[in-house]
Structure 1
Amino acid sequence: MSKIYIIHENDEWTAPLKEALTALEVPYEDWHLAEGTVNLQEAPPEGIFYNRMSASSHTRGHRYAPELAQAVIAWLESHGRTVLNDSRALQLELSKVLQYEKLKQFGIRTPDTVAAVGAQQLGKAAQSFPAPFITKHNRAGKGLGVMRFDTAESLQRYAAGGAFDDSVDGITLLQQFIDSPTRTITRCEFIGGKFLYAVRVDTSEGFELCPAEACDIGETVEACPTTGAGDGFKAAPEKRPKFEIIEGFSSPLIQKYEAFLAANGIAFAGIEFIEDADGTIFTYDVNTNTNYNPNAENTAGVYGMKELAAYLKKELHALESGSSVHS
């Protein structure tokens, strides 16, 4: 019997999906790829394979899970299996540089960025980069490596010190600081490559933006690229939800995002953008292992994981009937 196969490395993030699949009576199998083997002499099982491998796997002790996922997905695709969030999507998940270059092909604006290998080269690049700016990891997630610097000298001191936090792939990004007057970013969620909803995320307390309930641990990173955290900054006095689904959201970006997803083998994703004081929108992150915030969804009455599970069910039925849902 065919089933859904979930490719991942984080049990907490997949628990809501398993619950949704169980509720819909969809057969599934868990492929946790923290470690394992791939027998290239054997054919893979029949089914629908959903890839939600994470770029931040190394923070959970799963340093080579993405590499193993790449091998598994190459094996699956060579045998003609349906992989949702395929090998192209995984490549994008693992590189913000690749994300930005692919987004630009669809007329989507991204922040000015320089990619650097080595702390010395990062500091050198900052000398000619307009301040203030931020740094972030190229292969990341959860706001890894995000710090704001107001001068090239302050970054150079940090880069030369023992506290420098290098990206797991060795590539650190030097990026344009975008000042959001509302101290928020917007995350657009897509199911089956189509827009589901947009959620407003309050960044005034930091840039730990994973919406999953399992990530709601009350911690913040050292600096947030949207707040100006540092000298003279004061958070807004009013208390607002960290995640809030925007009713009736619409934007010309949606059509561009959907075209971008279709061209890059991405069925499920959250895409984040920030708007500056002049109304200019910058898209800065694509999450192909997207999670959903239960508090925001309960308030709005829309549930991403249930929609995702229903889409997987349709794909499985299409496979069994010989038709196709995903294109």
Structure 2
Amino acid sequence: MKHLTRILVLLLLFVFAGMDTWAQQFPISSHYTVNPYALNPAFAGANNRSEFYMNYRKDWSSIAGSPQTYRINGNRKVYNNMYVGGEIMADFADIFYRLKMGLSYTYRVQLATDQYLSFGLAGHFYQSVIRLDQVNADFDDPIFRNLDRLFKSSYNAGFGLVYNRDNLYLGFGMPVMMRTQDAYLNLSEGTFAFERAYDFYAGNRYQLDSRWEVQPAFVLRKTLNQPVIMDFSAMFIYDKQYWLGGLYRNTSLFGLTVGGQLTNRMMLNYTYEIGVGGIHSQSGGTHEITLGFRREKEDARSIRSRTKTKNSANISKQKQQKETKLKKDKITREREKTQRYKKKKTYLRRTRTSTKLPKYAPYENFK
């Protein structure tokens, strides 16, 4: 009975606490502030590097059995403007379990010198479970007796489009493209239904001075038959190494973010969210932590180009060394020739200026 009471408390939270977690079918995260790929697959390669992230989120920390979510995702360049990525998410809320696994492909097109358009496609596998074995209740109750979908697997697809110009990013995505058959049924039968979902992203980065930057962003999420959820955030970045930011969500929720680069390839980010008023004051807030690894990655064409350039430079250097050697040899030969000429000239001069007396005396000596 105690366990059943806890489940009822959770259901009340889902209804009255803004429905952040279940109204949008999947847990809502602030992870996108440091990893936009988590929001839209078309963001793969936006930073021109390979990325891998591990994320943990605990909602309503003061409530036993409240939702907690584990995520790992990453993306990398495979060739020229092509990127691949993957994601695994496990979400637990007392007796409700959900697993999501997906792969994505992104292609980036250069429109102008500093303008790009990225297309992203993703395929997802979902598995949903209700653990009735953890419920201490009478299974003769019609609520449980008539519930026949305690375990289900399904597939879906996602789509993303991102426009980038300098530090400006505009994105549109459909994390859930296909409305499943269950969504057309009534609530009692549509236990694991999927509705189409949309999101929109707009963000920019402005240089305040030689060290400080500010990165404002706006995110809108919409699931069919559910309220719109909007995020307004701003991140202040110091020396491209450390950041501090704030977030407001239209479900009366505020968030504080702090993070930084631990090394050249490793970053850490922490976000604390708290709601205002009502049952939010008893939830204990939400904690989210992200550990990321980032590495610059060259594509095969870049490597070949760099190798070709290096080989050309080596050939040019060898040619230059050969030409220099020939010039030195020529100079040496000319010097040797000049020295031989000087020796010969000196010898002739000495011969002409010899002190030997003439064979015949002058005419005057015979007088």
TM-score tier, shorter chain, comes to: under 0.3
Higher RCO (CA < 8 A, seq sep 6+)? 1
Normalising by structure 2, report the TM-score: 0.22
Higher helix share: 1
- Point out the structure with the larger strand share: 2
Structure having the higher Rg: 2
